[in-house]
Amino acid sequence: MARHQHDPDHLHPRPQLQSWISAPGSKNEVMVSHGRAPWYGPDGKNIEAYVVGIAGGSASGKTSVARAILSALNYIPTVLILSQDSFYNAHTDEEIELAFNNDLDLDHPDAIDSSLFAKCLMDLKQGKATEIPTYSFVHHQRMPEKKYIYGASVIIVEGIMALQSPELRDLYDLKVFVNCDSDLMLARRIKRDVQERGRDVDGILDQYLRFVKSSYDNFVQPSSRYADIIVPGSSNQLAIELLVTHVKRQLDTRSLRFRKMLAQMGDDEAEVQSSKGEEHSDKQVVLLEQTNQLLGLMTILRDRTTSRGDFIFYADRLSTIVVEKALTLIPCQPKTVKTPLGVDYKGTGGDDQLVGVSILRSGGPFSHGLRRVIRDIPIGGMLIQSDPKTGEPLLLKSDLPHSIKSTETSGEVKVLLLDSQMGTGAAAMMAIRVLLDHGVLESNIIFLTYLIAKQAIHSVLRAFPSIHIVTAAIDPGLDEMHIPYNRSTLVLGESAGEADFAVRLIDGDLTTGGLEGEREKVDDQREGVQSEKELGADRFKVPIKREMEELKFSRARERRGDDGAFGEKRAWVISPGMGHIGDRYYM
Ligand SMILES: Nc1ncnc2c1ncn2[C@@H]1O[C@H](COP(=O)(O)OP(=O)(O)O)[C@@H](O)[C@H]1O
Ligand SMILES: O=c1ccn([C@@H]2O[C@H](COP(=O)(O)O)[C@@H](O)[C@H]2O)c(=O)[nH]1
């Protein structure tokens, strides 16, 4: 994380702030930037998010302090402000009527659903996806819709009772209290509640005298004793700067620890782990039977002289074979149907809980194969790119099927995770981690690929020993290459020798017609097969373009004859391999 701080690189465009809860006056905000670097170690286990808890009286300036921290941390991929406002209890009709008459005590600690608050915060801190309730101050009521949140590196919690509950306090890495003069708080509250919460001055004062003031004296102010730092509620720029410096220092220390952890995985341990991986691979890796027919297919696909049309045809064919093999790992459900003769036939049915998730760069070709075998299977996508400098994967976007996003169903879902090849295993590990963070069981994940480098098996199974991998081939070599790039037209991705799907999308957008047109023609020939647009790629197009509008695809530039190589990026290439599968398939 420190790396970004000292590296005001133009590659990291300024993050965008978005309010993610539609209820009027919502204070919850999330800041997203170019991508999320691994939030887990090589053991696959999550590193916890950093959590700051901010308490203080109503209108003391908690939200303003939280927003100031959020803006100052703009080099962190995802910073989230989580407001206690979302966690007010659901109210009965009688309670709502009392609230409108200023007769409901909304300033008592019991007015907040602290256990739900703590549960959601715990999930987020541990890197898991969660669903946050929404609350309307205008209606004094919890709203039916929930908000799905996933992937915060820093969480800033704010609320009058944020330091009240021991359950919440235990989750904070830093506790802050905003101390403000009572008159100032009241003046600010009147102004805000009239403007934003649909209230009148009489009602506000009534509520203040009955509940707000006594709550502040009895609960809120006394909770300041738990704070590590007291920040004034006005003229507080210096205090906020000190606070931000402290948070940055803490984040730096964490990232150093992470790097140290990686470095500590010395050769000895790697050997032990590697032999464990070998044991696992016997059970967990399913290599297609190396028949003459399959070897013939692989020969065509590996042959550099194979035409693009043939490459697409045989890649599609191979993906259906891999999918069929993967389906043998999923238990069938008995199903009885009536034949046209009216006779019962006792057969088997598909698994309703089965979904596909394509790793975009190059899972696209596999999605076609999956659709050929199971026509209506939901297929989601994850856009994972490699940081060209560090080679580390970055999660840019995930668009998962509903059954994975819902905490009620994710534990039952079986996922076919699709990528053309697995070189270092870094992108696969990130995608698996995302699925686990949503509650998918490790043993319910099957990774499907054409080709895998031997050492990727060790890395992935060391971290996630219960997943299955189904592959058509295992290659011995994985070579690091340094590919020249032009900084102003930097390519992201291309790890493991794969083509870069997102970059192709950007490229497709920037070059008028050409590549897209060609792709459309190929799609037209495939009846019943989804194009990459339908498979979700298109949904990634707008944000990626907006956030990375500087980026163009350097190879496309090369073709146009541009030069100006500026630096080198790291890429890992499987050997003997099949080359850039995505490029050969799409371009
Ligand atoms: N440091 C400050 N200086 C001047 N006005 C402030 C300051 N902090 C907050 N305010 C104003 O006070 C009001 C309440 O602030 P807010 O941060 O929403 O309070 P809280 O979240 O504690 O209820 C807002 O109108 C805000 O603009
Ligand atoms: O339905 C509701 C729920 C709460 N309140 C008041 O909100 C403040 C806390 O919000 P801040 O943003 O921290 O000021 C609390 O004092 C409650 O009285 C409400 O009016 N209606």
pLDDT in tens, 106-155: 999 999 999 999 999 999 999 999 999 999 999 999 999 999 999 888 99
Ligand 1 atom index nearest CA of 65: 17
User: At CA 535, angle to CA 494 and CA 389, rounded to 5?
Assistant: 20
pLDDT at residue number 27: 73
Verify cis geometry, omega within 30 degrees of 0, for the bond prior to 576.
yes
- 49 near 127, Cβ under 8 Å? yes
Atom 9 (ligand 2) nearest CA:
58
Q: Is the minimum distance from the CB of 280 to ligand 1 under 6 angstroms?
A: no
Q: Please tell me if the CB atom of residue 192 comes closer than 6 angstroms to any atom of ligand 1.
A: yes
Closest approach atom of ligand 2 to CA 212: 16
Cβ(356) – ligand 1 distance below 6 Å: no
CB 70 within 8 A of CB 79: yes
Q: Is the pLDDT of residue 583 over 90?
A: no
Q: Is the CB of 64 under 6 A from ligand 1?
A: yes
C-alpha distances (whole Å) from 68 to each of 61, 189, 193, 368, 578 are: 11, 20, 22, 46, 49
Query: 3-state secondary structure string, 488-503?
Result: HHCCCCCHHHCCCHHH
Q: Are residues 379 and 308 in the same domain?
A: yes
Does the CB atom of residue 159 touch ligand 1 within 6 A?
no
- Same domain? For 248 and 321 the reply is no
Place of tokens 């590193």: 47
Residues 130 and 243 in one domain: yes
Taking the centre of ligand 2 as the mean of its atom positions, its distance from the CA of residue 375, in whole angstroms, is 50
* Ligand 1, pocket-test mutation among 85, 188, 234, 236, most atoms within 8 A of CB: 188
Least confident interval from 8-12, 68-72, 242-246, 481-485: 8-12
Quickly state the pLDDT bin for 580 (edges 50, 70, 90). confident
Atom of ligand 2 nearest to the CA of 62: 13
Query: Could you read off the pLDDT of 544-575 as tens digits, one per residue?
Result: 333 333 333 333 344 344 444 456 666 778 99
SS3 for 394?
strand
| Mutation pick for ligand 2 pocket among 160, 188, 217 (CB with most ligand atoms within 8 Å) | 160
Concatenating the DSSP letter of every residue in 150-179 gives ---SEEEEE-TTTTT-HHHHTT-SEEEEEE
Determine which residue's CA is closest to atom 4 belonging to ligand 2: 106
| Confidence (pLDDT) at 258 | 52
Q: How far is CA 48 from CA 38, 45, 173, 250, 435, in A?
A: 12, 9, 10, 13, 17
Q: What are the residues whose beta carbons fall under 8 Å from the beta carbon of 270, sequence distance 6 or more?
A: none
Nearest CA to ligand 1 atom 14: 59
What's the structural domain count of the chain? 2
Res. 283: pLDDT tops 70: yes
Q: Rounded CA gap, 170 and 559, in Å?
A: 57
Residue ranges lining ligand 2, Cβ < 6 Å: 58-59, 85, 88, 99, 106-107, 137, 140, 160, 212
Same-domain check for residues 174 and 244: yes
Give distance in angstroms: CA of 140 to centre of ligand 2.
9
Q: Which ligand is nearest to the CA of 95?
A: 2
Closest residue by Cα to atom 14, ligand 2, is 58
Residue 86 has pLDDT above 70, yes or no: yes
How many whole angstroms from 62 Cα to the centroid of ligand 1? 7
Question: Distance, CA 516 to ligand 2 centroid (Å)?
Answer: 52
* Contact assessment for residue 149 and residue 130, using Cβ atoms and an 8 Å cutoff: yes
Residues 188, 77 within the same domain: yes
CATH number at residue 83: 3.40.50.300
CA of 160 to the centre of ligand 2 (A): 9
Angle 267-284/454-463 helices, nearest 10 degrees? 90
Q: What Å distances lie between residue 380 and 344, 385, 434, CA to CA?
A: 36, 17, 12
CA nearest ligand 2 atom 11, residue:
58
Domain boundary among 220, 252, 284: 252
Q: What pLDDT, on a 0 to 100 scale, did the predictor assign at position 256?
A: 56
Work out whether strand 141-149 and strand 29-32 pair parallel, antiparallel, or are unpaired.
Answer: unpaired
Domain final residue, candidates 185, 219, 252: 252
- When pLDDT is averaged across residues 192-203 and rounded to a whole number, the result is 92
What's the CA-to-centroid distance between 107 and ligand 2, angstroms? 7
Q: Which of 510, 514, 500 is nearest to 550 (CA)?
A: 510
Confidence of residue 587 (pLDDT cuts 50, 70, 90): confident
Please give the pLDDT value at position 365.
Answer: 86
Q: Any idea which ligand is nearest the CA of 212?
A: 2
Residue 143 pairs with which residues in a beta bridge? 134
Distances (CA, A) of 270 to 122, 135, 260, 337, 427: 32, 50, 15, 53, 20
**CA 84 – ligand 2 centroid, Å:** 10
ipTM: 0.95
CA-to-CA dists, residue 343 to 334, 337, 340, 347, 348, angstroms: 16, 8, 7, 12, 16
Q: Which ligand is nearest to the CA of 193?
A: 2
Tens-digit pLDDT profile for residues 412-429: 999 999 999 998 888 999
CA of 235 to the centre of ligand 2 (A): 24
pLDDT score of 261: 58
Burial of 214 (0-12, 13-18, 19+ CB in 10 A): middle
How far is the centre of ligand 1, averaged over its atoms, from the C-alpha of 189 (Å)? 9
Task: Answer whether 361's CB lies under 8 Å from 499's CB.
Answer: yes
Ligand index nearest the alpha carbon of residue 58:
2
Same domain? For 230 and 296 the reply is no
Confidence band of 163 (pLDDT split at 50, 70, 90): very high
Q: Are residues 122 and 203 in the same domain?
A: yes
More confident call, 281 vs 186: 186
The closest-lying atom of ligand 2 relative to the alpha carbon of residue 193 is 20
- Phi first, then psi, for residue 359 (nearest 5°) are -85, 110
For the stretch 19-67, pLDDT in tens is 333 344 567 766 555 678 888 888 899 989 999 999 999 999 999 999 9
**Does 150 lie in the same domain as 270?**
no
Same domain, 479 and 408: yes
Return the residue whose CA atom lies nearest to atom 2 of ligand 1: 234
Dihedral angle sign, alpha carbons of residues 481, 418, 431, 17: positive
Q: What's the domain range around 147? A: 2-252
Kindly state whether residues 238 and 271 are assigned to the same domain.
no
> Identity (one letter) of the amino acid at 18?
Q
CATH number at residue 293: 3.40.50.2020
546 or 105: which carries more pLDDT confidence? 105
pLDDT of residue 271: 53
Residue 579: is its pLDDT beyond 70?
yes
Is residue 80 located within the same domain as residue 124? yes
Boundary residue ending a domain (252, 281, 306): 252
The residue-averaged pLDDT of 1-10 equals 34
Asked if residue 582 and residue 441 are part of one domain, the reply reads: yes
In percent, how much of the chain has pLDDT > 70? 74
| Residue whose CA is at the smallest distance from ligand 2 atom 12 | 58
Per DSSP, 487 falls in state: G
Q: Is 284 in the pocket of ligand 1 (CB under 6 A)?
A: no
Q: How far apart are CA 192 and CA 376, in angstroms?
A: 50
The mean pLDDT of the chain is 79
